[in-house]
Amino acid sequence: MKKLFASAAIAALVVAPLSVIGATSAYSAPTTTATEQQYVVLYASGTAAATAHAAIATAGGSIVTENTDVGVATVVTKNAKFATDAAAQSALAGTAKNRVIGDVPESRKANGDAVKFDAAEAESRVKTADVASRKSTTKTPGAEPLAYLQWDMKQIGATTTGSYKYDTGSKAVRVGIIDTGVDGTHPDIAPNFDTKLSRNFTVDIPVDANGDTIDGPCEDEPDKSCTDPANVDEDGHGTHVASTIGAPINGIGIAGVAPNVDIVNLRAGQDSGYFFLQPSLDALTYAGRNGIDVVNMSYYVDPWLFNCTNNPADSPADQQEQRTIITAMQRALDFARTHGVTLVSAAGNGATDYTKVLSDSSSPDFADVPGEIAYTRDLLDPDSCISMPSEGKGVIAVSSTGQSGRKAYYSDYGNGYVDVAAPGGDAYDTPTGDLTYAGQILAAYPKALAIANDEIDANGDPTVPYVVKSCDAKGKVCAYYQYLQGTSMASPHAVGVAALIVNHYGLPDRRTGGKTLFPAAVEVALKATATKTACPVPAEYTYVRRVPQADGSVVVRTSTATCEGTRASNGFYGKGVVNALKAVKPF
């Protein structure tokens, strides 16, 4: 779900005046000294703000930001027992350490764990020759230049001969990208990018409170700034997602599922790919207040992959923190959904059945205690351990398919967990199990990142097989695209179809303008028009991957996953693979 090629970003915070997140607010992270700690504090349901403020002060905290939509405040304190003292206040429902001010433990840095790779991506990033992605040059008349590489759009009927004939979306439909940012200047995003509504709820931090490097000097950032404007993506993940949803039909590169929708950047992720609680809450409530129709959430809230309410392996403090994350996120999800936002999330890339007892060896993935490391939590109960936001109430969870239509090898699954499936790519979905970049999803890539990562040469030509260049007919305007795979790539396909549904069947939104459609109605239509897909036979499917190594050798890896359910609803595909053509074609 996360594209994580950079070291973990963390923040050193200073006391700042109280600010209330409002319709036009941009997030500005406060900082603390080495003796201070920061918490996200959840108010008890129904508590007046003044009462909560007094309780926080009694516990020794000072409010620096507040989200009154869901009753949450970011608090700074020098009280080492703040969490305990806050728990004694009936006006406060819970606290969670604001992990933005934490650090990746040195022991994990030494092991290389601080560089957080998504396994589904890292495994396919070997810089070997690959001809499969460039074998086919058959172009469809009237289609975008790289449409011939977009097997994903063909799989869901989002083509010039498919859904584009009936509905391409419109600026009356606003799609929010809650991610690492969106490159609003990318030539294949700019025509649909909403500069006015876009916001950045995060900030890059050069060093932590101890002076240790986090993001590094501001001048070394691609945009030379630590306070990124709301049209910047220094990770690439959010830009890829946005492009899949709404890349325009403009004679450059690709077209998205809904090529005329309004794209709104609601950045909640650090450059490193970490997503913390407060920015996630603020992005969701902002979406609800500003007429966003659909949001894409291709991530989970750090530091816990699974938030458990009473897991015995966790300390009482960690249990309390996880309960706070669940409650606070659900409040924000509820707020957004009741204000007309359809919520769509990636199912995850752990190749795990979320409905079964499982283990988690990746949490916490971020720490503020020197030497703290992730520990294995075995036999997690799926009824009391929740991954947010994908398992939140009212959220549509999306699994991933490969080019052949099979569930991708990395995709999480589960009968009752997955709502729908969508193409997310599978580099090993070939007859032999060999890698091909053509089996992944091609979408927009910021040029600044391609340069920073040495993926294009002095002439602007790609030097790696997973980056593609496309120019307009006159060769004057060029843009870059990269192949990625993951449920992060599947979710935006479902979001694009949801946006088409809002445009096709929605009514005028008298509150914020544009169009609107009840999220429940969007979900019903999305599922009803999905292509029903049965479990494989036999239901236990074996994946074979021939993974190339840097030295030229190949390592063969196998894994299995068991599909439960019927053709109409099962753990691999939910209610089926989303279909843009069926969603908008007249009966």
CATH of 108-532+567-584 among 3.30.420.240, 3.20.80.10, 3.40.50.200, 3.10.580.10: 3.40.50.200
**Residue 375's pLDDT band (boundaries 50, 70, 90)?**
confident
Report pLDDT digits (tens) over 421-450.
999 999 999 999 999 999 999 999 999 999
Domain ranges of the chain: 19-106, 108-532+567-584
Q: Is the pLDDT of residue 112 over 50?
A: no
Give the Cα separation of 342 and 420 in Å (integer): 14
Give the Cα separation of 405 and 532 in Å (integer): 12
State residue 565 phi and psi, 5-degree precision.
Answer: 120, -170
Give the Cα separation of 496 and 296 in Å (integer): 9
Peptide bond into 538 cis (omega under 30): yes
**Average pLDDT, integer, range 352-357:** 96
pLDDT value, residue 308: 96
Give the Cα separation of 94 and 276 in Å (integer): 16
Report pLDDT digits (tens) over 298-328.
999 988 999 999 999 899 989 999 999 999 9
Give the HSE-up count for residue 171: Cα atoms under 13 Å, Cβ half-sphere.
7
Single-letter residue type at 176: G
pLDDT value, residue 454: 94
pTM: 0.91
Q: Which of 60, 64, 82, 86 is nearest to 73 (CA)?
A: 64
Burial bucket for residue 585 (CB in 10 Å: 0-12, 13-18, 19+): middle
pLDDT value, residue 47: 95
pLDDT value, residue 139: 66
**Residue 336's pLDDT band (boundaries 50, 70, 90)?**
very high
pLDDT value, residue 28: 41
71 in Cβ contact with 331 (< 8 Å): yes
pLDDT value, residue 33: 52
Q: Which of 436, 406, 417 is nearest to 541 (CA)?
A: 406
Q: What percent of the chain has a predicted confidence (pLDDT) above 70?
A: 84
Q: Is the pLDDT of residue 561 over 50?
A: yes
Cβ neighbors of 14 (< 8 A, separation 6 or more) are 30, 31, 32, 33
Residues present in the chain in total: 587
Same fold, 19-106 and 108-532+567-584: no
Burial of 56-83, coded b for 16+ CB within 10 Å and e otherwise, reads: beebebbbbbbbebbbbbbbbbeeeebb
Rg from Cα positions in the chain? 23
Q: Is the pLDDT of residue 2 over 70?
A: no
Question: Which range is least confidently modeled, 193-207, 217-231, 342-356?
Answer: 217-231
Give the HSE-up count for residue 395: Cα atoms under 13 Å, Cβ half-sphere.
32
User: Strand pairing partners for 531?
Assistant: 577
Report pLDDT digits (tens) over 276-301.
899 999 999 999 999 999 999 999 99
Q: Which of 377, 306, 378, 375 is nearest to 107 (CA)?
A: 375
**Average pLDDT, integer, range 139-153:** 90
Q: Is the pLDDT of residue 385 over 70?
A: yes
Give the Cα separation of 151 and 281 in Å (integer): 35
Give the Cα separation of 230 and 241 in Å (integer): 16
Report pLDDT digits (tens) over 500-558.
999 999 999 999 999 999 999 999 999 999 999 999 999 999 999 999 988 889 999 99
Cβ neighbors of 547 (< 8 A, separation 6 or more) are 123, 126, 428, 435, 554, 555, 556, 557
User: Strand pairing partners for 444?
Assistant: 481
Report pLDDT digits (tens) over 16-67.
233 444 433 333 444 445 578 889 999 999 999 999 999 999 999 999 999 9
Burial bucket for residue 536 (CB in 10 Å: 0-12, 13-18, 19+): middle
CATH code of the domain occupying 19-106: 3.30.70.80
Give the Cα separation of 536 and 412 in Å (integer): 16
